[in-house]
Structure 1
Amino acid sequence: MKIKAVVTGAKSRALALVRTEEPYVIWGAEPMNGGNFLFLWVTAWARRRHTGETWVVRHKPKMDPWLAEFPALRSLTVREDEVGLRQRRTVEWGQQVYRDWFYRDLQDFAREALLTSEGFRARLDSVARDAVVVNVRRGDYYSVPEHREAFGFDIQGYVRAALSRIPEEDGRRIVLVSDDVAWCRRHLGFLRERGHVETLAGPHDMFQDLAQIAAGRDLVLANSTFSYWGGYLASSLPPRERPRTVQAPLHFNRRFNFGESPLLLAQWRAIPDDEFLGG
């Protein structure tokens, strides 16, 4: 194993000396989807902006719906078979604040690369704009034991704490956006005490979910990159269209940063665990 590691290291160093040509390629880590892809694209966009170097992101098949929804992302994407031997590649997540991007980059990228999509703007016009939007992320966060250990937290307590900070007269219409609506109906019944609770009507896709998060009047975000991007989009809208409040759990992922999320915008309200544990 030692010999193999030495050979691999020597090969990597040799390739680094050869791979100096632009555009530089963010290869991406595994596994990735959704909001994680957007962090790669904003990293490439921000590096172009701040360094003058050309950076692109390696295409993955799961990116295709995102490229169709947000056409401006195509200029930041390259197919693997188009990458030359001499082009530099990096394997990363694109989530290192102040190294990969600044917070202003997130919002400028949202305005210039995402909110310029005519299709997505049409979605924003089709969803509720006068509601409290509660986003709940379940899925593999809770079905896979190692993910549950890292991402899982007291969703009920957090949602209660977040709603308590929204005046009752402003929370009479609640739109629930979740990948597990059935779980929410079983465990978040207290939402009905605040007002009328609804979900997106009829067949819809993840971009309709994203638009509803971005369009809400008051946002209660989940600890997920998809939810964060809904918040970034919302906070990047023209001032009159932005939400009045955005709240998010301080908790994101226990594997890094003592579990605290570095991906929240300063203008949002972060809610730490000790405000709702046992709630």
Structure 2
Amino acid sequence: MRILTYNIHHWDGRDGRADIERLAAVISQSGADLVSLNEVVHPVRRRGHLEFPLVDLAQAVGMNWSFGSSTRHIEGTDWRGPVGNAILSRHPIRDFNNHLLPRLPGTQQRSVLLAHIAVKGYQHAFTFGVTHLDHALEAVRLWQIRGLLREARDFSYPHLIAGDFNTHTPRRERWVPATLTHLREAGYVDVFAQVGRGIGATFPARRPIFRIDYVFVPTLWANRLVYAEVLDNYLTRVASDHLPLLLEWDLHSCYVH
């Protein structure tokens, strides 16, 4: 299974254009079966009319979709709408739940979208979690990831947690951010650190130097990872202010473990 995590910058590319076809091309060319999207505005109210770019994107790539709002509304020059996380899947989405994460007064509300994906041939649904953590404070991100893991504590089947964690991994691990340390101690493996190709930087897209987009998998299934890489090309450098991260995971062997 190929999995992509991608912050799409409220639909706007670096050229200021909201181009659904361009985003669809990035996803289609990746060959992803499952996609985590951050900074999704759904629906969009523009000049008094509602638009549904998430539905348009899902139809363009031939995938099922689900959306979870952070309860925040954002505004552009001529549009506004609720922002949150979304999932695209080539497999049926059996059900999904959206959970608000802890926050401090004055910080932005964040959420995690948890979906159960029905993969043909497997009795138990595969669980996919998508989140976007606080952009300013590591202490808040740590609090949020603890809240997220409380929601995931009962997962006994294969699952992944993906998204924009806003936590930079130093190239030399003299100091590891508290959020990443907590995930390790909770039994999760950073997919790119395990099987990644290159340096893994995803932001800013024009000249990536920070690795802030991640996928985590429980240690039990980490040896089923095949590879991970950041998709860095002309198209991805203009489609958003982040680069997408792609990984391949041998889901079949997880179920026969």
TM-score bucket (shorter structure): under 0.3
TM-score (norm 2): 0.25
Which has more radius of gyration?
Answer: 1
Judging by fraction of residues, say which structure has more strand.
2
Judging by fraction of residues, say which structure has more helix.
1
TM-score (norm 1): 0.23
